[in-house]
């Protein structure tokens, strides 16, 4: 069970890093972190564990969340990360425009086939 | 790119639809230039569109005083206070906690209220508190980044002098710069606004007049001649005066959609000729507008009645409209824009300005006057409106001067009315100096204005009397 969660979180961490790196290309690392800060705050209104996400100029780490999940395995991590990613892309689409965000989303889709489709369900991040 | 509609009259037009959202804008100007009202007008208009604004005062003006002053404006609505328009005091944070707490406070306020617009008034006051330029520059950069990530459109208000606009670091970071200033002209205290920068949208450069009234801010876009060559369809139709001899001299009348100057000294009948041109149009069902800076409506009606012309019927049925603007009240920046609006709205076919000399007198800058007339002329031609500008020639007996400002260059047709001496009496003659694209009579013909109207008589026998 513990290993499964770890693997799952590792996968999310890689996905978030990819997303952060791709968006930092357009926003700059400073603004990319500000965006992470905003989305962390928004998602933490529902899942306080989101505040355990660590980020700095170097990138993103889910170590804190992973440790918390070990203590509280019932946390719906999939939903929490899905909400984070969708919200991040949604804001990004408004800041950068649809075209660039689609490019980022496409890249994520290539590396994590099917994840974005499952995460967003019927939702679209592009308004 | 999405735009924030300011809702201020004509400002969105100047901005190509509005201010790009999430942009950081500086509103600069000296005290009393209207900066605060300008931004308040925008946020209250935005509140009507469902947008929320956070207005943070620093140490220049207390919230209480500001709200008290705003109550006199029509755009103000206290229903929005605390809901769509939220005031906060950034000054207290600055004084009690220092500059390094400002960003944190701002972020907390944004999280609490989730505004679409954030205003800091005055931002210059914050600058003055920072110990050095380097620290302030870093703060401005962080502020701009943080606010844009929160999808907020920002207005930073400051009492900056014009020379500071190219020097200070905040202006390099800003996406948009509005500079407001006043200027004492001959008779009016004028307020102007210039957009010095606006990333992400095309905008109208140059100085635009604005007024502050009970309604709020109203902008009158700068009238300028088109940069591109004027392209318009030339129509061959003729618009007559209904004055037999004159229409013959013009080979049927003025070419449709052209501009004509009627130049003459005082008492030569410029107004009567121009009025008759509109009455002839009204007779044919064409709408005419007579814009008078010289004679009030009643006086023009009397003139027409004395000359045996039916004016009242046309005024009543709307085929003729006379607008009188007192030369004392004439403000070219404002009226030039309004005139074209009326011409468009009323679908005017024949248009008279009596006289453009009054325009000239009310403008402090001759180049500006020429620009106005060129711009108006271009727009009128583009709409195929046949236009007459009367112009006063101050030289009683000289036909040589049409206008001092060389406005005749823009005219397609020039009609000269002048006095001559003959047989120990003063007579009046009319001549066509120019009729672009049309043949015309080159002779000078005597005319008289009687109770039966204007009669064109024969050529003068004693041409040597002409100077």
Interface probe for A, chosen from B109, B142, B149 (most Cβ of A below 10 Å), is B149
Same domain, B176 and B58: yes
**pLDDT value at residue A125:** 46
Q: Is residue A111 part of a domain?
A: yes
- Tokens describing residue B16: 């190509």
Count CA atoms closer than 13 A to B278's CA, side-chain side: 33
Nearest CB to A38 within list B22, B142, B149: B149
Strand partners, B260: B388, B413
**pLDDT value at residue B401:** 53
With contact defined as beta carbons under 8 Å apart, do B67 and B105 qualify?
A: no
Q: Is residue A23 part of a domain?
A: yes
B146 to chain A, minimum CA–CA distance in Å?
6
Distance CA B415, CA B329 (A): 29
With contact defined as beta carbons under 8 Å apart, do B375 and B333 qualify?
A: no
Tell me which DSSP letter residue B229 carries.
P
**pLDDT value at residue B131:** 82
Same domain, B32 and B144: yes
Nearest CB to B145 within list A30, A41, A91: A30
Q: Is residue A47 part of a domain?
A: yes
Interface of A with B (CB under 8 A): 28, 30-31, 34-35, 37-38, 41, 91, 94-95
Same domain, B98 and B184: yes
Q: Is residue B402 part of a domain?
A: yes
**pLDDT value at residue B299:** 93
Contact (CB<8Å) A35/B151? no
**pLDDT value at residue B212:** 92
**pLDDT value at residue B327:** 74
Count CA atoms closer than 13 A to A68's CA, side-chain side: 15
With contact defined as beta carbons under 8 Å apart, do B268 and B428 qualify?
A: yes
**pLDDT value at residue A127:** 39
The chain-wide mean pLDDT, for chain A, equals 84
Structural domain for A73, as ranges: 2-120
For residue A122, what pLDDT band results from cuts at 50, 70 and 90?
A: very low
Which residues in chain A have their CB less than 8 angstroms from residue B22's CB?
94-95
Interface probe for B, chosen from A24, A29, A31 (most Cβ of B below 10 Å), is A31
**How many residue pairs from chains A and B have C-beta atoms closer than 8 A?**
22
Strands B207-213 and B189-198: what pairing? antiparallel
Same domain, B258 and B179: no
pLDDT beneath 70: ranges in chain B: 60-62, 184-188, 224-235, 363-364, 395-408, 461-467
Strands B153-158 and B117-121: what pairing? parallel
- pLDDT tens digits, one per residue of A66-116: 989 888 888 888 899 989 998 999 999 888 888 888 888 888 888 777 666
Contact (CB<8Å) B149/A35? yes
Which residues in chain A have their CB less than 8 angstroms from residue B149's CB?
31, 34-35, 37-38, 91, 95
**pLDDT value at residue B462:** 59
Same domain, B278 and B186: no
**pLDDT value at residue A57:** 82
User: What whole-number percentage of chain A has pLDDT above 70?
Assistant: 87
Number of domains in chain B: 2
Q: Is residue B258 part of a domain?
A: yes
Contact (CB<8Å) A38/B145? no
pTM (2 d.p.): 0.72
CATH number of domain containing B430: 3.40.50.300
Strand partners, B416: B263, B431
Residue owning tokens 């944070």: B93
**B168 burial type by CB count under 10 A (0-12 exposed, 13-18 middle, 19+ buried):** buried
**pLDDT value at residue B187:** 60
Nearest CB to B145 within list A31, A41, A91: A31
**pLDDT value at residue B411:** 87
A4 to chain B, minimum CA–CA distance in Å?
35
Closest chain B residue to A92 measured between Cα atoms?
A: B149
**pLDDT value at residue B251:** 92
Number of domains in chain A: 1
Count CA atoms closer than 13 A to B8's CA, side-chain side: 28
Structural domain for B384, as ranges: 238-465
């Amino acid at each position: 069970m513990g290993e499964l969660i770890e693997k799952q979180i590792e996968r999310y961490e890689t996905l978030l890093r990819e997303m952060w790196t791709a968006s930092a290309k357009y926003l700059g690392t400073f603004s990319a972190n500000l965006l992470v800060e905003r989305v962390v705050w928004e998602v933490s209104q529902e899942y306080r564990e989101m505040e355990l996400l660590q980020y700095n100029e170097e990138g993103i780490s889910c170590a804190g969340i992973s440790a918390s999940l070990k203590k509280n395995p019932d946390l719906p991590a999939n939903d929490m990360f899905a909400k984070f990613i969708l919200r991040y892309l949604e804001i990004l689409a408004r800041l950068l425009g649809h075209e660039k965000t689609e490019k980022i989303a496409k890249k994520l889709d290539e590396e994590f086939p099917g994840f974005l489709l499952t995460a967003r369900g019927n939702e679209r991040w592009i308004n | 790119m999405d735009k924030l509609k300011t809702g201020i009259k004509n400002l969105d037009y100047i901005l190509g639809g509005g201010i790009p959202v999430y942009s950081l804008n500086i509103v600069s100007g000296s005290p009393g230039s209207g900066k605060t009202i300008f931004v308040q007008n925008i946020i209250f208009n935005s509140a009507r569109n469902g947008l929320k604004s956070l207005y943070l005062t620093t140490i220049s003006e207390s919230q209480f005083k500001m709200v008290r002053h705003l109550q006199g404006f029509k755009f103000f609505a206290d229903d929005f206070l605390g809901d769509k328009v939220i005031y906060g005091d950034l000054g207290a944070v600055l004084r009690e906690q220092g500059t390094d707490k400002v960003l944190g406070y701002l972020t907390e306020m944004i999280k609490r209220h989730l505004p679409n617009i954030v205003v800091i008034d005055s931002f210059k006051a914050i600058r003055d508190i920072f110990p050095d330029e380097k620290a302030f520059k870093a703060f401005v950069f962080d502020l701009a980044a943080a606010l844009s990530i929160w999808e907020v459109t920002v207005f930073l208000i400051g009492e900056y002098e014009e020379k500071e606009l190219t020097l200070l670091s905040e202006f390099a970071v800003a996406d948009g710069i509005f500079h407001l200033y006043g200027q004492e002209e001959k008779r009016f205290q004028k307020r102007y606004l210039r957009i010095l920068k606006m990333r992400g949208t095309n905008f109208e450069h140059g100085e635009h007049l604005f007024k502050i009234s009970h309604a709020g801010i109203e902008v009158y876009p700068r009238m300028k001649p088109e940069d591109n060559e004027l392209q318009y369809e030339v129509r061959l139709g003729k618009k007559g005066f209904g004055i037999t001899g004159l229409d013959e001299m013009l080979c049927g009348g003025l070419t449709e959609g052209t501009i004509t100057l009627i130049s003459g000294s005082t008492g030569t009948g410029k107004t009567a000729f121009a009025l008759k041109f509109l009455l002839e149009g009204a007779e044919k069902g064409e709408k005419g507008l007579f814009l008078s800076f010289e004679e009030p409506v009643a006086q023009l009606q009397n003139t027409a009645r004395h000359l045996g012309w039916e004016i009242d019927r046309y005024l009543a049925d709307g085929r003729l409209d006379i607008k009188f603007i007192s030369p004392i009240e004439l403000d070219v920046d404002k009226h030039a824009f309004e005139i074209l609006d009326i011409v468009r709205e009323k679908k005017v076919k024949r248009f008279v300005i009596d006289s453009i000399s009054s325009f000239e007198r009310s403008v402090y800058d001759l180049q500006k006057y020429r620009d106005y007339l060129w711009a108006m002329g271009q727009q009128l031609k583009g709409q195929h409106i046949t236009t007459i500008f009367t112009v006063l020639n101050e030289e009683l007996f000289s036909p040589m001067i049409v206008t001092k400002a060389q406005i005749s260059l823009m005219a397609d047709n020039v009609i000269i009315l002048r006095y001559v001496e003959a047989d120990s009496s003063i007579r009046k003659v009319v001549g066509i100096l120019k009729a672009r694209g049309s043949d015309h009579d080159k002779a000078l013909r005597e005319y008289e204005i009687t109770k039966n109207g204007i009669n064109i008589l024969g050529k003068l026998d004693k041409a040597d009397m002409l100077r």
